[in-house]
Structure 1
């Protein structure tokens, strides 16, 4: 029999549960984001619904509570699919039925698979941190980025009590070592970089490919198939970069256009926009190129990847890890700027929508009860207060013998009280 000890302890435990719930879900989930149009927002994949479509935070809780879901984390230019004809399960927040979203992009994450290895994510056995690409927003295993050896997934890694295993990252930083607990540190740790861009996206962005392997744009490479993986471009602090001539730039092949975070520290729609947010987002005409000299190793690897051979072993995937302050270090000459401006997230931090704060999230059970009574019509509120007072008097009378005899109130005793109360109501 489970002992409640005392009613005071029981009430205190319930208040603690309310506080924990407020910390876990501090937002108000009463509005579907469909009316906001395509925005960057947290997206949830509903596996129960027939089509692989995405839900906003509110609909994942209000409309699909009993469905199996996967959190995909922020996706840019995404509109909630819940109130559309693509999902047969009707939206409870956006009442009018909308046409299917034609502008949403549904990559492999919407089939429940991730990374270049195409594996599904299983939180019960996955031991590695997964890192989100800033550009395509897919998720990648550290071992697939050659940051560590792929660990055995037969058993989950031990996680300290203060840490929670996660598909991706916290709202600020992706702590590689935290969610890969029990494993040796990765070759590039969370403290070493601010954002990650996968190889496919690097190859599709000319200026980013040009910077690869230079100081502050880390690459992981190896010299031969048997060589250990090592880092290029580790030190972001360097002297003034050399000025490059047009002849230097012509040596870089701009024809590499293969198709294509640690989560970036994104601004919320509800956060105050910094004064410098709109600085330096336009080109600087007639200025010399201030980009660092291309890393010859990185450029040779990109050149050779144009004509891959079945017998060749890749010396790098071409992923890059951008260190702190990377947006301020871009060259904005007429040659470098165009491919950056085609991807605005490379020039300024993105706003990520978050639901408004729930004003009731930090209230106690008593305060929540009083708030509910205040919202009822007067006659119904009075009836509710009378019913509560009657139940209180009955409960005190039921518990008085326990107090007089010094007996502990057990779970079965509490259950018996409410069963008796239920029977008396139906009997009358």
Structure 2
């Protein structure tokens, strides 16, 4: 039913936008879809390259995958040797309802779920596993701590939250304010190496310096540089442009150095987070997006029904955001039962509203 001509509606009836008469706080369908698309793209980037149905243990030490630390199953010890990580599929199937720490991605990691570090939890996806994965690396991220400040994320005591950046070497996350140096003014960099890792691997400082054109013919790029001693002792973060790894020397001597330091991954094009995220996005290319499904559903409605649907969507999104915020504020993991309860309450409220309505006129045209 169209809005009556003799009555000014309290909210606009323009399809795709809800407008308040007193103040234009309208949200267009395009804005809703853009926000939804960004959230979906972020999720695909982190999770799209990981298997959500099968434990990755049989793949061994995976180049890069999404990982989680289970607080519920963790042996209460600060000993790094007791820390463990589980793959995406195990976080869903073996640790459902547990308190989990999202670790983003880590390199060369074999899923620990069900091994000796989980005496009371068995892996339901891969029952035969070794006692330990001796080549796994763990840091304080598995305890929910980050940066040199050893603080959690988000930090409830930090009144001025700061962006965090992941070091590509130690894979710890660092606050910008604790890096010891600032990123390029235009934020035009591909990867960051923290000050601790620059100190640990001083040869990297050679690649911060420009290479003289007449020295490029030398066999080893490191030997091509004249480096002052103090330049090899930089203890601040460095920011690296796209493709910088291609400049790393691959002579026999340097390759032996990388192997000795266990940092051969620097010469692996598939090691980068960017490569992993692109793989995840490509894996989702042929899947219908949430936006496509939403637009398909909206196209089957008339104009008034579209506006009602958008209004309901806005209300739902706001309520869900507020509901999930209570879990974040109380550091609780959202369980399947919680989501079921949320939708149950929505369904019951909608039923009561429909039972009490005596007219078919859209609520925003009354």
Q: Could you state the TM-score of these two structures normalised by the residue count of structure 2?
A: 0.54
Aligned to 2:101: 70
Aligned to 2:314: none
Deviations 1:257-308 (A, max 9, x none): xxxxxxxxxxxxxxxxxxxxxxxxxxx5xx6866332155424xx2xxxxxx
State the shift of 1:199 in Å: 3.1
Label 1:82 to 1:240 Cα distance change in 2 as closer, same or farther (>3 A): same
- SS of alignment partner, residue 114 of structure 1: coil
8 Å CA contact 2:207–2:248 kept in 1: the answer is no
Aligned to 2:149: 117
State the shift of 1:361 in Å: 6.8
Label 1:123 to 1:93 Cα distance change in 2 as closer, same or farther (>3 A): farther
Label 1:24 to 1:120 Cα distance change in 2 as closer, same or farther (>3 A): closer
Label 1:187 to 1:95 Cα distance change in 2 as closer, same or farther (>3 A): closer
How far, CA to CA, are the matches of 1:290 and 1:134 in structure 2? 25
1:188 aligns to 2:188 (yes or no): no
Aligned to 1:84: 115
1:146 aligns to 2:177 (yes or no): no
Aligned to 2:131: 99
State the shift of 1:113 in Å: 1.6
How far, CA to CA, are the matches of 1:75 and 1:65 in structure 2? 21
Label 1:241 to 1:296 Cα distance change in 2 as closer, same or farther (>3 A): farther
Count of aligned residue pairs for this structure pair: 255
How far, CA to CA, are the matches of 2:97 and 2:209 in structure 1? 49
- SS of alignment partner, residue 187 of structure 2: helix
1:240 aligns to 2:213 (yes or no): yes
Label 1:122 to 1:100 Cα distance change in 2 as closer, same or farther (>3 A): same
Aligned to 2:88: 57
State the shift of 1:79 in Å: 0.9
8 Å CA contact 1:116–1:144 kept in 2: the answer is yes
8 Å CA contact 1:85–1:97 kept in 2: the answer is no
Q: Could you state the TM-score of these two structures normalised by the residue count of structure 1?
A: 0.47
User: Aligned ranges for residues 221-300 of structure 1 at < 5 Å?
Assistant: 240=213, 242=215, 291-295=224-228, 297-299=230-232
RMSD between superposed Cα atoms in Å: 4.5
Deviations 1:101-126 (A, max 9, x none): 33222222222222223222225546
1:46 aligns to 2:70 (yes or no): yes
Aligned to 1:198: 194
Gaps of 5+ in 2: 1-15, 17-28, 76-82, 297-353
Max Rg structure: 1
8 Å CA contact 2:101–2:142 kept in 1: the answer is no
How far, CA to CA, are the matches of 2:155 and 2:214 in structure 1? 44
8 Å CA contact 1:83–1:98 kept in 2: the answer is no
8 Å CA contact 1:289–1:333 kept in 2: the answer is no
Label 1:35 to 1:55 Cα distance change in 2 as closer, same or farther (>3 A): same
Aligned to 2:209: 214
- SS of alignment partner, residue 136 of structure 2: coil
Gaps of 5+ in 1: 1-8, 148-185, 216-237, 246-283, 303-315, 368-398, 410-428
Which of 321, 333, 349 pairs up with 2:239? Answer: 321
Structure ranking higher in helix proportion: 2
